[in-house]
Amino acid sequence: MINATITDQEFGLFQRLIYKIAGISLSDAKKILLVGRLTRRLKQYELSSFGDYYRMLATGNFPEEIQTMVDLLTTNETYFFREPKHFDFLRNEILATHTSPSTFRVWSAASSSGEEAYSIAMTLAEALPNTPWEIVGSDISSKVLAKAAAGHYSLARTEGIPPGHMRKYCLKGVRSNSGTFLITPELRKKTSFHQINLMHPVDADIGEFEVIFLRNVMIYFDAQTKTRVVHNLLPRLQPGGHLIIGHSETLNGITDHVTAIRPTIYRKP
């Protein structure tokens, strides 16, 4: 029989585990959320308690299940053209002065289900019609990355997309796909998605970027983890490049390797 309650001791084990894996500080207020999202996993393995589930994960023999746990416990709230002033800055300040013929690269470092990456793609497609560009999206959750790569969304998610962009870059579904839309192939082929844990040093093979978006993810980190994540990211930002964080976030006390030029917008010297 499954015990769908969790003791404080068991919850503490999961708090430390998700912090170790993803750097997420899971507050005590998230206990109900954890129980709601992980109870089905106990049923899947016919386990009687959260302690049994933790001990199963701790063996190290179930890497796919650890990934499932991470997918279930990470928050993936996002939408198209979220915090629009950042896209205004990208278009009017960065792209408007870009003259290099080389490929302009942007990293959406906490891309979730892809809305941010494709918002950037639409912005670049409009502003750089004659310049090659590329977007890399990354996340720790394999589940949301699969959705991002598909580029297939409900029409209810279109709020924020300018009407002209909607007509040009979004294909409305018909028949069995009615009520949905698909990001156009020309945008999807220039946008790739990769599973990257920002808690670890980023492989140099990903290359360097003119702009890195790291928005609305550091709010889940403590100061030590924020410092670690930013330290891992900055080697991938080109000199003169821009790092953009969420409107409720700051790098004060986190790093002195970038300079604030606007609230939440930083430049690497």
Where exactly are the structural domains of the chain? 8-73, 84-267
Structure confidence at residue 26 (pLDDT): 87
pLDDT per position as a tens digit, 197-231: 999 999 999 999 999 999 998 988 999 999 999 99
The residues, ordered by sequence, that sit 6+ positions from 249 with a Cβ below 8 Å of its Cβ are 215, 216, 218, 219, 264
Q: Which residues are catalytic?
A: 37, 139
Does residue 77 have a pLDDT over 90?
no
Q: How confident is the model at residue 2 (pLDDT cuts 50, 70, 90)?
A: low
Angstrom distance (rounded) from CA 57 to CA 92: 48
Could you tell me what percent of the chain has a pLDDT over 70? 99
Three-state SS sequence of 122-162: HHHHHHCCCCCEEEEEEECCHHHHHHHHHCEEEHHHCCCCC
Distance of CA 95 to the CA centre of its chain: 23
Nearest CA among 9, 14, 8 for reference residue 53 = 14
pLDDT of res. 5: 85
Tokens at 196, concatenated: 């990257």
- Contact in structure between 173 and 138 (CB atoms under 8 Å): no
Q: Tokens 């997420």 belong to which residue?
A: 24
Which CATH number describes the domain made up of 84-267?
A: 3.40.50.150
* Average pLDDT of the segment spanning 8-32: 91
Q: Does domain 8-73 have CATH number 1.20.1440.120?
A: no
Mean predicted lDDT score pLDDT of the chain: 93
**Type and span of the H or E element at 240:** strand 237-245
Contact 162, 80 (CB under 8 A): no
Cβ-based neighbours of 243, under 8 Å, separated by 6 or more: 211, 212, 214, 233, 234, 237, 251, 258, 265, 266, 267, 268
pLDDT in tens, 148-164: 999 999 999 898 999 99
* Sheet containing strand 133-139, strands side by side: 191-195, 133-139, 104-108, 209-214, 237-245, 265-267, 259-262
Mean pLDDT of all residues in 74-99? 92
Q: CA distances (Å), 209 to each of 40, 41, 149, 213, 236, in order?
A: 40, 39, 20, 10, 6
Is residue 25's pLDDT more than 90? no
What is residue 1's predicted lDDT score, i.e. its pLDDT?
58
Other CB atoms within a 10 A radius of the CB of residue 169 amount to: 21
Confidence class for position 176, pLDDT limits 50, 70, 90: confident
